[in-house]
Amino acid sequence: MPVIAAYLYRHGRRVREIAIEEQVSCPSDRSEFVWIGLSDPCADEIETLQRLYGLHPLAVEDSLKDGQLPKVDVYGDQLFVIGRTAYLCGGRIVYGQTAAFLGHSHIITVRQGSTRSHRPLREHLEAAPDLLGKGGDYVLHAVLDFIVDGYLPLVTALEEEVAAMEQRMLDTFLDRAEIARIFALRRDLMRFDRILVPMEEVARKFAKSELPCVDAEARHYFRDVLDHVRRVEAMTSGLRELLTSVFEFSNLIEQQRTGAIARQLAAWAAILAVPTAIAGIYGMNFEHMPELHSRYGYPATLVAILTICSALYWRFRRARWL
């Protein structure tokens, strides 16, 4: 059922449940307001609310379109806000959308593709009637704060994954799957940034601008949302830099290990070249060769080979090629 919850509140306390097609008259002193929560609603339900609460057609159209960027629009004495939710699913960042219509006596939230229910949020606010009684703008603050707080587990989980990848990199080469994962994470974080930047602008408008239906005192609460967005932006920026460092450091370590292997092969090749060269020379069928008919020619040759090879081995060991 798309209608998750619809209640009338008076002085911060739930009075009764209302039907979506019910016309509710509230006094203008902000003592009463309606909070309606929808999840993946159909067009008919939104049109019913549009007729009852005077929602702007453009705002209604945007609320039904998933994939909108975060924004805040002013339509007369009402506000329309879009926030983007994000969560991890199968290692990838998946996005949802929460739209909110705010008037003097109503707040309507419309969730599209979001897996986080607003029930805990509603229960938390209902447990604090002094705050809930201040009006729908404080509910809107709580909704935006709820969305932004959902970013933190996502970024924290990615930080732990990259840190584990960095640790593995010190022990062995990163394989193709891990390299592909690094590039996938970088693409995901770039897309996530395109959500965070307008989300910060939304929070800044509420924190610093005069907007209809928003009490001046409520701006202090929206500043807290702004701080949370900036914190997530800083964490995301650091995570992008860490991913770049991991990739570059992985390439550097791979080059160093490849160079070390190449030096070892070159050192052993040089050492083995000595007996190969001497054996090759004395293996030629010439009659007049030094030490060929000498009694000690054979052991002298072996001693010479061992001496030269040992000297080369000692020299390469000192140079840390072996």
Burial class (CB in 10 A: 0-12, 13-18, 19+), 16: exposed
Cα 225 to Cα 177: distance, rounded to the nearest angstrom = 37
Q: Are strands 3-10 and 13-17 parallel, antiparallel or unpaired?
A: antiparallel
Whose tokens are 């000692």? That residue is 314
Beta-bridged to residue 95, according to DSSP, are: 86
Q: Which part of the chain is CATH 1.20.58?
A: 260-318
What CATH architecture applies to the domain 260-318? Up-down Bundle (1.20)
Q: Which part of the chain is CATH 3.30.460.20?
A: 3-253
Name the CATH topology of 3-253: Beta Polymerase; domain 2 (3.30.460)
Three-state SS annotation for 72-130? EEEECCEEEEEEEEEEEECCEEEEEEEEEEECCCEEEEEEECCCCCCHHHHHHHHCCHH
- Per-residue pLDDT in tens (0 to 9) along the chain, 322 residues: 466 788 899 888 888 888 888 887 777 777 789 999 988 888 888 888 899 888 999 999 998 888 889 999 999 889 999 999 998 888 889 999 999 999 988 999 999 877 678 888 888 888 888 888 888 899 999 999 999 999 999 999 998 988 888 787 777 777 778 888 888 888 899 999 999 999 999 999 999 888 888 888 888 899 999 999 999 999 998 888 888 878 777 777 777 677 778 888 888 888 888 888 877 777 776 666 666 667 777 777 788 888 888 888 888 888 777 7
pTM score above 0.85: no
Secondary structure (3-state) at 3? strand
